[in-house]
């Protein structure tokens, strides 16, 4: 495979720390350098987010961290795309304008483009749609529809903080349609969703867990291979909606159901240091230094728990300008009318 799984984990060893909240001892092991093929793509690097108004604040922090991590010695342009619900578009434009001012003075200023969310999930019944916590998470399955001319797209969840130039991920060699990390050890499929029977049809109970919060997708291959049709089939399966835990994270579960071992590139896990907000102990310095992307997956969201574990990683990328009208409900209308 083109990628090497070099053993970078996020769980710290400690006698009083629950096993699922520890870093593994090899977290600080010397890493192999990330290998890139130096390939450049016409049109530059494309990054896609999708968020409703509840996630505008973390989205802003994530995009700011991405922009601050871009290096001047790389001439490839970067475009950050947001997929936004129609009812949130006014506030999204306010945030877009604020971030453009925020980027002034940075060595590289990414372009920002907004896309109105389309109607998806035509195969799903009402019960299936009702179980979804948010349809925004499923936009990642339809990236090729929003960016049909982009050869590749990086998907980022809004609860990520970027620490390295994202163009390093975009240029990595690929031999499969999608690249993402695969949790090992504690993050086993049967333990995460308690759906042993369903996952057992296809996977070993000890199979590692693919995390879809950071994905590099070959959009042309994704579209031509019929991948979306297979993912939609899983979305329509009745068993998919039997577990409450599964329903809350269906997008990631469906990725794990469809992509069997050997069907994906396995990213170096430094590109998705997950569950950062869950750790009761500080992240070891060696892990902090090596991480490319921190991911506040699961619970422990730092915009909800201001003093939660590792929240400083998130708060260090707060906007320097006042962008409250864009991220706080009710202020967009006042900003638009000049009242306040």
Q: What is the pLDDT of residues 148-161, one digit of tens each?
A: 999 999 999 999 99
* Confidence check: pLDDT of 122 > 80: no
Strands (E), the chain: 45-50, 78-84, 111-116, 152-156, 160-162, 178-188, 208-218, 265-266, 293-295
Comparing 28-32, 76-80, 278-282, which segment has the lowest mean pLDDT? Answer: 28-32
273 — pLDDT class (breaks 50, 70, 90): confident
CA distances from 240 to 98, 120, 234 (A): 40, 18, 7
What would the pLDDT profile of 290-306 be if each residue is shown by its tens digit?
899 999 987 789 999 88
- Give residue 132's pLDDT: 62
Contact indicator for 159, 267 with CB cutoff of 8 Å: no
- Give residue 336's pLDDT: 47
Average pLDDT, the chain: 78
* Confidence check: pLDDT of 307 > 90: no
Higher pLDDT, 226 or 38: 226
> Residues in the chain, how many?
340
55 — pLDDT class (breaks 50, 70, 90): very high
Reading the block at residue 187, the tokens are: 């993050």
* Confidence check: pLDDT of 177 > 90: yes
- Residue 219 DSSP SS3: helix
- Between CA 298 and CA 276 the distance in angstroms is 9
* Confidence check: pLDDT of 262 > 60: yes
Q: Which residues contact 254 (CB under 8 A, 6 or more apart)?
A: 231, 234, 235, 240
Choose among 201, 187, 60, 81: nearest CA to 142.
Answer: 81
* Confidence check: pLDDT of 312 > 50: yes
Choose among 222, 172, 218, 255: nearest CA to 2.
Answer: 172
Comparing 142-146, 175-179, 225-229, 322-326, which segment has the lowest mean pLDDT? Answer: 322-326
- Between CA 249 and CA 98 the distance in angstroms is 31
Higher pLDDT, 332 or 311: 311
* Confidence check: pLDDT of 119 > 50: yes
Q: At what angle do helices 56-68 and 89-102 cross, to 10 degrees?
A: 30
Comparing 55-69, 113-127, 141-155, which segment has the lowest mean pLDDT? Answer: 113-127
Contact indicator for 179, 259 with CB cutoff of 8 Å: no
Domains of the chain: 41-333 (3.90.550.10)
Reading the block at residue 120, the tokens are: 């998806």
Contact indicator for 332, 97 with CB cutoff of 8 Å: no
């Amino acid at each position: 495979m083109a990628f090497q799984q070099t053993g970078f984990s996020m769980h710290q060893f400690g006698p009083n720390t629950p096993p699922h909240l520890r870093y593994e001892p090899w977290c600080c092991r010397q890493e192999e350098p990330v290998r890139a093929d130096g390939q450049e793509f016409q049109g530059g690097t494309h990054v896609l987010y999708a968020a409703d108004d509840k996630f505008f604040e973390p989205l802003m922090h994530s995009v700011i961290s991405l922009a601050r991590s871009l290096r001047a010695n790389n001439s490839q342009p970067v475009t950050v795309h947001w997929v936004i619900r129609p009812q949130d578009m006014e506030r999204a434009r306010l945030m877009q304008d604020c971030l453009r001012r925020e980027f002034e003075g940075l060595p590289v200023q990414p372009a920002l483009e907004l896309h109105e969310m389309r109607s998806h999930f035509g195969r799903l019944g009402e019960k299936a749609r009702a179980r979804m916590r948010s349809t925004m998470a499923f936009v990642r399955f339809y990236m090729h529809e929003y960016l049909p001319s982009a050869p590749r797209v990086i998907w980022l969840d809004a609860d990520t903080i970027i620490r390295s130039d994202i163009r390093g991920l975009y240029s990595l060699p690929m031999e499969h349609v999608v690249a993402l990390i695969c949790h090992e050890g504690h993050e086993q499929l049967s333990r995460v969703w308690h759906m042993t029977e369903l996952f057992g049809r296809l996977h070993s109970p000890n199979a590692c867990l693919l995390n879809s919060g950071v994905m590099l997708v070959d959009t042309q291959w994704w579209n031509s291979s019929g991948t979306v049709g297979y993912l939609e089939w899983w979305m329509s399966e009745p068993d998919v909606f039997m577990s409450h835990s599964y329903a809350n994270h269906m997008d990631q579960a469906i990725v794990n159901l469809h992509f069997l071992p050997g069907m994906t590139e396995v990213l170096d896990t430094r590109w998705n240091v997950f569950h950062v907000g869950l750790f009761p102990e500080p992240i070891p310095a060696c892990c902090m230094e090596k991480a490319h992307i921190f991911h506040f997956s699961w619970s422990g969201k730092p915009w909800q728990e201001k003093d939660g574990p590792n929240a400083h990683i998130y708060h260090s990328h707060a906007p320097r300008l006042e962008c409250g009208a864009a991220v706080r409900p009710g202020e967009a209308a006042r900003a638009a009318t000049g009242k306040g």
